[in-house]
Structure 1
Amino acid sequence: MDRVLGILKPAVLATQSLVLRVTRGVTFGVRGLVCDGERVLLVRHSYVPGWYLPGGAVEPGETALVSLGRELDEEAAVAIDGEARLHGLFFNERMARRDHVAVYHVPSWRALRPFVPNREIREARVFPVDALPADSTDATRRRVAELVAGAPISPLW
């Protein structure tokens, strides 16, 4: 299945980019770097291969933090426990050439309920920061390295 998703990924991203350009203009997303320094929460989608930081689109009328809370609940059944801090704002030129992603560091979180796979998210798991899954996305690896290893923060997704 992951092989098929890998083959389809460019078409899915191109279609998603086209839809966003036509329907939204500038797009703004949010991701949670849910990480206590030793462990990080990642999700695996049903429609693209790999492991990602949880998150999604900031909907009209939402603040970025409200969106982050909603996305963490929807995608991983977790809630922010304490303060989320802005890690960085990143330009995602691959998505729509006008897409930006705000990444918040969430050092403390709590489970709201057991995670149940759904049509969008197949898995939500916590991994050691030094043992990310081999198919973690490059952007996921960069954000973890920036936070945990002190790598320079890039402006690009």
Structure 2
Amino acid sequence: MAVRLWGGTTLGVRAIAFSEERILLVRHTYVSGWHLPGGGVNARETAEAAARRELFEETGYEAAGATRFLGLYFNPAMAGRDHVALYHVPDCVPRRAFRANREIAEIGLFAPDGLPEGTTTATRRRLAELFEGLPPDECW
């Protein structure tokens, strides 16, 4: 969930995270499809710290090194005021076993050319921007 920051604007984060050259995706309990892990930025928290925290909270995986900011996207589907900061996590490692919960039903590691059925359009677009050099779309 995105946290209110100023004037009704919300800020969320997502991570394109890799483990052993596979992309880590999550399937939520409350919305269909496979998504990049992420969530809201808390008060007094940087976007990068939020991306690392959300990655761990949702999947049990932890960033093993530096992350790279990829862009800031407008998400018009969220009341017309949400923005998403996207980070690249080139290497992450499991730190605790995943257990399905009220928010995340399932996680999976997938080859870039073998994404599961139901991978969201936004997720596919962000991966194409990273892998194929497509110009970033300003909307999530």
TM-score normalised by length of structure 1: 0.82
Q: Secondary structure at the match of 1:113?
A: coil
**How many angstroms apart in 2 are the aligned matches of 1:40 and 1:96?**
29
Describe how 1:1-157 pairs up with structure 2 within 5 A: 25-35=8-18, 38-157=21-140
Identity %: 51
Distance change >3 Å, CA 87–CA 110, structure 1 → 2: same
Distance change >3 Å, CA 78–CA 38, structure 1 → 2: closer
The gaps in structure 1 that reach 5 residues or longer are 1-15
Preserved CA contact (<8 Å) 2:20 2:91: no
Q: Secondary structure at the match of 2:66?
A: coil
How big is the shift at 1:65?
1.3
Per-residue CA deviations over 1:62-91 (Å, capped at 9, x if unaligned) read 111111111011100011111100011100
**How many angstroms apart in 1 are the aligned matches of 2:128 and 2:74?**
18
Choose between structure 1 and 2: higher strand proportion. 2
What is aligned with 1:9? none
**How many angstroms apart in 2 are the aligned matches of 1:38 and 1:149?**
16
**How many angstroms apart in 2 are the aligned matches of 1:49 and 1:72?**
19
* Alignment: residue pair count: 138
Preserved CA contact (<8 Å) 1:37 1:148: no
The gaps in structure 2 that reach 5 residues or longer are none
Q: CA RMSD in A?
A: 2.0
**How many angstroms apart in 2 are the aligned matches of 1:140 and 1:122?**
18
How big is the shift at 1:38?
4.2
Preserved CA contact (<8 Å) 1:90 1:102: yes
